[in-house]
Amino acid sequence: DTGVSQDPRHKITKRGQNVTFRCDPISEHNRLYWYRQTLGQGPEFLTYFQNEAQLEKSRLLSDRFSAERPKGSFSTLEIQRTEQGDSAMYLCASMPFGGVLIDEQFFGPGTRLTVL
Amino acid sequence: TQLLEQSPQFLSIQEGENLTVYCNSSSVFSSLQWYRQEPGEGPVLLVTVVTGGEVKKLKRLTFQFGDARKDSSLHITAAQPGDTGLYLCAGATSGYSTLTFGKGTMLLVSP
């Protein structure tokens, strides 16, 4: 197992375009989280899934953002009509639910989004 | 709203020095994690503390959870350039809940 992977690592787009990011969690982890991190800040929670069910969404997740985890494995995060304020590092994390490693989330390398 | 405040925000020291960084909150956490993040990468989990008063050691790093489970500290002995990075604390208010992160302490260790 190689850990959490994210694709792409970097994305540059023009304002108004749509972008989609992918996250592949650690294979036996049924919880998957998305965070956003801006410069000088810690990661901020966006949403999370348990298997294919999206259980919680932050108020940060405007209606331009949508996340899916259709088969309970990989997840996608789409941002429609991007704005310059969307520029950030988007982090994915996974965690086994029901195990002994309570609250220990394992992060991917992130996708750095730059909106011009 | 649970807030985690980390101090100092930035620390620049010479190799071999000792340092302590702090993570404080007015909220009680069921567990608290410390992560280290390097530029352009995701956070890497260092340790989880669960019990009030708990002390965990990871080589030259010593982590302590406050008795009331509202605060934590990370002490590094004889810092090395490889310790350079952003140290983040994150708390969970109940098992399997979402994590609240502090803003982090940026540590720079010069040779």
| Rounded distance between C-alpha atoms, residue B37 and residue B10, angstroms | 14
The predicted model gives B34-39 an average pLDDT of: 95
pLDDT (average), residues A6-16: 97
- Residue B37: per-residue pLDDT: 96
Contacts of B92 in chain A (CB under 8 A): 102-103
Give the residue from A30, A103, A111 with the most B CB atoms within 10 Å of its CB, the best one to mutate: A103
Confidence (pLDDT) at B99: 87
Cβ(B47)–Cβ(B56) below 8 Å: yes
* 3-class secondary structure per residue, chain A: CCCCEEECCEEEECCCCCEEEEEECCCCCCEEEEEEECCCCCCEEEEEEECCEEEEECCCCCCCEEEECCCCCCEEEEECCCCHHHCEEEEEEEECCCCCCCCCCEECCCEEEEEC
| The pLDDT value given to residue A2 | 76
With a cut of 90, say whether residue B21 has pLDDT above it: yes
B76-87 b/e (C-beta count within 10 Å ≥ 16 → b): beebeeebbbbb
Assigned token pair, B73: 């500290």
Q: Is the pLDDT of residue A33 over 60?
A: yes
Percent of chain B with pLDDT over 70: 95
Residue A45 confidence class, pLDDT cut points 50, 70, 90: very high
Q: Residues B58-111: pLDDT tens digits?
A: 999 999 999 999 999 999 999 999 999 999 999 987 766 688 999 999 999 999
Residue of A nearest to B32 (CA): A103
Confidence at residue B2, expressed as pLDDT on a 0 to 100 scale: 60
Q: Are A9 and A21 in contact (CB under 8 A)?
A: no
Separation of alpha carbons B104 and B87, rounded Å: 5
What pLDDT is attached to residue B98? Answer: 80
Contacting B residues, span 56-85, partner chain A, CB-CB under 8 Å = none
Distance CA A114, CA B69 (A): 38
Contacts of A43 in chain B (CB under 8 A): 43, 88, 90, 99, 101
Average pLDDT in chain A:
92
Asked if B90 has any chain A CB less than 8 Å from its own CB, the reply is yes
- Cβ pair B88:A43 closer than 8 A: yes
Contacts B42 to A, Cβ<8 Å:
4, 6, 91, 93, 107-110
Cis bond upstream, residue B8 (ω within 30): yes
Per-residue pLDDT, averaged over A94-106, amounts to 75
A40 touches chain B (CB under 8 A): yes
The answer to whether A74 faces chain B, any CB pair under 8 Å, is: no
Which chain B residue has its CA at the smallest distance from A47's CA?
Answer: B98
Evaluate if residue B1 carries a pLDDT over 60.
no
* Measured CA distances, A82 to A14, A40, A77, B11 (Å): 8, 21, 13, 35
DSSP state of B77: S
Contacts of B35 in chain A (CB under 8 A): 107
Tell me the β-bridge partners of B86: B37, B106
Whole-number pLDDT of residue A104:
81
Cβ A75 vs Cβ A92: under 8 Å: yes
Per-residue confidence (pLDDT) for residue A97, from 0 to 100: 73
Alpha-carbon distance values, B71 to A25, A61, B53, B96 (Å)? 30, 29, 10, 19
Instruction: Report CA B97 to chain centroid distance, whole Å.
Output: 19
Distance CA(B7)–CA(B53), nearest Å, equals 20
Look at residue B30 and tell me whether its pLDDT is greater than 90.
no
